[in-house]
Amino acid sequence: MKLILNNFFISNFINNKLTKTIKTNFKVLRRVPKTGIIIHENTKVLVQGITGRQGRFHTKLMLEYGTKVVAGVTPGKGGETVHGVKVYDTVKEAMMESNNVNTSIVFVPSPYCLEAVKEVLIEGIKLVVVITEHLPLWDALNMVNIAEEKGARIIGANTPGIINPKAKCKVGIMPNKINIQGNIGVVSRSGTLSYEIIFSLLEEGLGISTFIGIGGDKIHGTNFTEALSLFEKDKDTEKIVMIGEVGGEEEEKAADYIKENISKPVVAYIAGKYVPKGVKMGHAGAIIEGEKGTAENKIKQLTKAGVKIAKTPKETAKLLQKTK
């Protein structure tokens, strides 16, 4: 998986500079119970696909960050343990023994992902973070529709996840060390771009309240508008960073929403300014159709809404510092 492989290289780069940056530029704020949006100290996580290579690896990192991972599921592997987390054959069995589970993270291969998500939704879990990429459109549409019927929230698919540093809770695959507590809310379609921008915030002495990776696929659960609405209401978020890219109309819709509903300062970076029209770039959602979906049009609409636009990922932090 592209996002996961990139984590290894990004982490090596970050570790060379991180310790000095944290000590010099950042003050850790006092921890307050049940803070942040979507996830918090009482988030209890079930890992679907926990015995696979990626599930096993990222379970370890989530535990190290402070996330309460209380159960895992892999059919046929019931009774095993992964980093001290008990593994069950089914979600129902896991829920019977770990009845405080309220969140699932999915590392299940694409052909089986829809059934995995349906399984946790049927058992009443209200937050599902879907790391899996290359999900068929029909499966993605079904997944989102079933979640809406059940009153549940989907993050993804093809997402790096969500993280709340103040609550020491990470449900995803993003690097641990760059996500330090602060007052900047970050929402992004891209995983690797978000890592770069969050690290640039850290270099400038800025931290994050919550990061939400909405995913790069054409159809996904939580979108920009929903994330912006949550950040607007969040007392721990003072400014917002929005990381978009070519393809689709989500950024344009977000611009309309910002104009009418967001009072907090927003800084955006839009990737793909030089992508040729009609060419799909990386993410399933990154395809330009006519004038819709171009970086130029997104930037134009966001600028009209009063959003400051960063020309480079690194400039995002500089603009935030200048924005009141």
pLDDT in the model for residue 183: 97
Fold of 177-322: Rossmann fold (3.40.50)
pLDDT digits (tens, 9 = 90+) for 177-234: 999 999 999 999 999 999 999 999 999 999 999 999 999 888 999 999 999 999 999 9
- Tens of pLDDT along 1-14? 444 445 544 455 44
185, 237 Cβ separation under 8 angstroms: yes
> In the predicted model, is pLDDT for residue 59 greater than 60?
yes
Q: Fold match between 31-156 and 177-322? A: yes
Kindly report, residue by residue over 313-322, the tens digit of the pLDDT.
999 999 999 9
Active site residues per annotation: 283
- Sheet of strand 153-156: strand arrangement: 81-82, 85-88, 68-73, 44-48, 103-106, 127-130, 153-156
Query: Given a cut of 70, is residue 136 above it in pLDDT?
Result: yes
Residues contacting residue 137 through CB under 8 Å, at least 6 positions apart:
218, 219
Task: Give tens-digit pLDDT for 205-218.
Answer: 999 999 999 998 88
Average pLDDT, the chain: 89
Residue from 211, 219, 210, 227 nearest 283 by CA: 219
- Classify 103 in phi/psi space as left (phi over 0), alpha (psi -120 to 50) or beta: beta
Distance in angstroms (rounded) separating the CA atoms of residues 184 and 253: 21
**DSSP-assigned letter for residue 267:** E
* pLDDT surpasses 90 at 80: yes
Q: Return the domain boundaries, the chain.
A: 31-156, 177-322
Question: What is the C-alpha separation between 217 and 247, in angstroms, rounded?
Answer: 10
The architecture (CATH level 2) of 31-156 comes to 3-Layer(aba) Sandwich (3.40)
pTM value surpassing 0.85: yes
Q: Alpha helices of the chain — where are they, by DSSP H?
A: 2-25, 53-65, 91-97, 110-122, 137-150, 191-203, 224-233, 250-261, 295-304, 315-322
- How far from 142 is each of 119, 148, 155, 184, CA to CA, in Å? 13, 10, 14, 33
128, 203, 184: which is closest to 161 by C-alpha? 128
Residue type, 235: K
